[in-house]
Amino acid sequence: MSELLAPAGSFEALVAAISNGCDAVYLGMNRFGARAYANNFDIDELKKAIEYAHLRNVKIYVTMNTIVFDEELADAYKQIDELYLANVDGLIIQDLAIFNYVVKNYPLLEAHCSTQMGLDDLDGCLLFKELGAKRVVLSREVPYQKLIEIKSKLKLPMEIFVHGALCVSYSGGCYMSGLIGYRSGNRGRCVGSCRKKYELINTTTNKTLTNSYILSMKDLNTIDHINELKAFDSLKIEGRMKEPAYVANVIRAYRNALDNTYDNNIKLNKTFNRTFTKGYIFNEDKKDITNIEKPNNYGYKIGRVKRKIKSGYELELYTPLNQNDSIRINHNNEDVTITVVKMYDLNDNLISSANKACIIKIKDELSINDEVFMTKDYKYYQFIEKTYPNEFRRFGINIDVYGKAFDKLIINVECDDKFISLESDFLLEESINRPTDKEAFEKQFDRLNNTVYKINNLNYYCENVFIPASKINDLRRNVIDMLNQERLLSRKPIAIEEEKLDKLNIIKENKHISVFCTTEEQYQACKDLNISEIYYDNYIRRNENNYKDKKGNLLIAGYGGIYHYRKTNEFQTDFMLNAVNYKSVYMLHKLGAKKVCLSYEINKDQINNLVNNFYNETSAMPNLEMIVYGKATMMFTTYCPLKVLNQCGQCKKNKYILKDEYGEFPIISNSDCTTTILNGKTLNLIDDIDKINGVNTFRIQLTTEDYNESIKIIKAFQNKINNEEYDLHFNKETDTRGHFKTNSNSLQ
């Protein structure tokens, strides 16, 4: 049976999820989780949540799926220690250092590979199975048939997303929020830059194709495919930033679907949605996977503006409207939002509901035929909110009661293969006229509505005794307390042994430049300037669709590529693996990487910490690469913004950019119809290379440059490395938006 996995950004949301039938809940702490803006949990709230969940046989997984810097590792490890003792069932992890600490020290604490790891093929999953993962969370871009193929060969629990918000960037591996707003998604602080309006401009023709929410994905909804989804171990609902009513509604719908029950009262579109898509998993057409009209709650259409009257407007309704409902009216592509406090019939009488027509009195300017959408059905929310707190299932207990006059009463209880025995602290009284029989005892003992239990069977072996009702009530409370404690998991502290790292055979290189090429003419510029280290056709990107035989040294951006090529090729790892601490660098070296490219998100001081810690732990220096020039990749996406505008194939003839109030973002359309979106501002650290300790390979990342530009850039960096005069005038268009403000290559 598939696990139904619910989100919880608060204790109330956790209760809503469990009350409506989830099997497990994932939540975040105040640090190291990828939803820093959710309410989240402190350790005391977490313990309360775990007790509540575990008494109902619901598991708790905690997200520790951000990247972690060296100066934070001690705090992260301490948090893991606390989570283990708090009886957390598993951790959802992105960073290799966190993964390693859990696997090495806490075999009872499941290590789950977060979707941020970018696992989308069998090779990547097999790598982490080998490293000790207990579950893998597959990328939302993986189609169903490929998931089934992976499942058949992996023999490891698989978790997939089935409902909720979608990241337009592959596996949530997005740098857009950090590059534009200095709030890194990999640090849990995504501000949803993809939910903004952008102009899409054809720079070849200088025409604007749209000014819309071109990157805003619809919400995933796969409930119509529930029978296919039952093939997987865990079905995950997104929504840690959502209100409890949303969590209750979605969990209730999927629980009914999984159990083959049906409740026609449940409507997924009656809580927050951006309209729905079946997603890449069920091969949604790329032109239908975004909602470019609106980035937030869309609701559903209930009517139109029919006519203007003196004090307001008459609405023609397709479905009922009630007092206290919230609606939005689309006027000239802008929303007028209203909570319907007062509404009137066509005779101007105050009413509380309407089926076909009503009058609303507002000062906003509307037009005839403006569409009206329901965004909050007040009565539906009342219905949903009554579903929690509630016991979705109760656990049967079997009871044997023994006693005779002048002896103590013995109560034996069995539940979930757990046994407890209680002996009364009083002696039973003999009763001749009014003995307490089984019916009287059970009636009093069965007052279990405020517990998670129900009586399955009660055997009563007492004769001619009298037990006061108050004492039976006390016995019941004591029995339930004892049973709860017996059923709750308890762990003892584990002595953590300091891990001794192997000394690796790392070949330290002299300072030099490397160049990443996107086009043939850039590659030719590198050849003409005798660049020894070029990344072009030897690049294995993060989500390589199929692995071809390659010769020589490879640059690998995904874990699947590491697993596939590590026995046949020399390789080094790319920035998208987000190495920002010494342990992650160590693990990548140990997996076979001869060189590790650091993440965009690490700054000078953090690089120093990394290098020093690596040396102190291994008595060796890491071999590090760092990108010091180029338009940074903001996101790589399976989605194509051109296709949604019926411009499919035009990328071969034209060039395009996205534009907002801050700048322009070039688009690279890849040969397999995937898309790379670049930062318009160029990172340029040519004058800072000497300040960067511990890095010997400085990478130039060429993207949109032509041959002549490439030659100028490469020559300037060659001269800098050779301590010769270099020309900084080849690119002055740089600013701090080219990298991260607080954790960045800017060396601030």
DSSP alpha helices (H): ranges in 87-243? 96-105, 122-131, 144-154, 176-181, 226-229
196 in Cβ contact with 144 (< 8 Å): no
Q: Which tokens belong to 611?
A: 């290098």
pLDDT tens digits for range 273-291: 999 999 999 999 999 999 9
Using CB atoms within 10 Å of the CB of residue 229, give its burial: 0 to 12 exposed, 13 to 18 middle, 19+ buried. buried
What is the identity of the amino acid at 56? R
Q: How confident is the model at residue 685 (pLDDT cuts 50, 70, 90)?
A: very high
Q: How confident is the model at residue 38 (pLDDT cuts 50, 70, 90)?
A: low
Query: CA–CA separation, 159 vs 281, rounded Å?
Result: 13
Residue 582 has pLDDT above 90, yes or no: yes
Per residue in 407-432, is it b (16+ CB within 10 Å) or e — as a string?
A: eebebebbbeebebebebeeebeeee
pLDDT tens digits for range 603-662: 999 999 999 999 999 999 999 999 999 999 999 999 999 999 999 999 999 999 999 988
Q: Percent of the chain, pLDDT > 90? A: 86
Q: Which tokens belong to 314?
A: 């008459």
CA R_g for the chain? 31
Which residues have a Cβ under 8 Å from the Cβ of 246 and sit 6 or more positions away?
A: 239, 271, 272
For residue 731, the model assigns a pLDDT of 57
pLDDT tens digits for range 230-282: 999 999 999 999 999 999 999 999 999 999 998 889 999 999 999 999 999 99
In this structure, the strands spanning 219-221 and 276-277 are parallel
Residue 740 has pLDDT above 50, yes or no: no
In this structure, the strands spanning 697-701 and 350-351 are unpaired
Q: How confident is the model at residue 746 (pLDDT cuts 50, 70, 90)?
A: very low
What is the identity of the amino acid at 734? T
When pLDDT is averaged across residues 88-108 and rounded to a whole number, the result is 97
For residue 34, the model assigns a pLDDT of 63
Query: CA–CA separation, 145 vs 672, rounded Å?
Result: 19
Query: CA–CA separation, 319 vs 354, rounded Å?
Result: 9
Among 166-175, 355-364, 606-615, 635-644, name the one with the lowest average pLDDT: 166-175
The three-state secondary structure class of 709 is helix
562 in Cβ contact with 127 (< 8 Å): yes
Residue 743 has pLDDT above 50, yes or no: no
In this structure, the strands spanning 656-659 and 198-202 are antiparallel
Using CB atoms within 10 Å of the CB of residue 725, give its burial: 0 to 12 exposed, 13 to 18 middle, 19+ buried. exposed
Element (H, E) at 520: helix 520-528
Q: In the beta sheet, which residues pair with residue 373? A: 301, 328
Measured CA distances, 354 to 298, 477, 614 (Å) = 22, 50, 70
CA quadruple 631, 635, 640, 641: dihedral positive or negative?
A: negative
Q: How confident is the model at residue 424 (pLDDT cuts 50, 70, 90)?
A: very high
For residue 592, the model assigns a pLDDT of 96
Query: CA–CA separation, 208 vs 658, rounded Å?
Result: 10
Scan for tokens 């871009």, then name that residue: 141
pTM of the full structure: 0.94
For residue 725, the model assigns a pLDDT of 81
Q: Which residue has the higher pLDDT, 192 or 538?
A: 538
Q: Nearest CA to 196 among 179, 220, 182, 177?
A: 177
Q: Nearest CA to 239 among 165, 343, 314, 329?
A: 165
When pLDDT is averaged across residues 7-11 and rounded to a whole number, the result is 96
For residue 744, the model assigns a pLDDT of 37
Which residues have a Cβ under 8 Å from the Cβ of 443 and sit 6 or more positions away?
A: none
679 in Cβ contact with 591 (< 8 Å): no
Q: Which tokens belong to 567?
A: 């026995």
**107 upstream amide cis, omega within 30 of 0:** no
Question: What is the average pLDDT score of the chain?
Answer: 93
DSSP single-letter state for residue 644: G
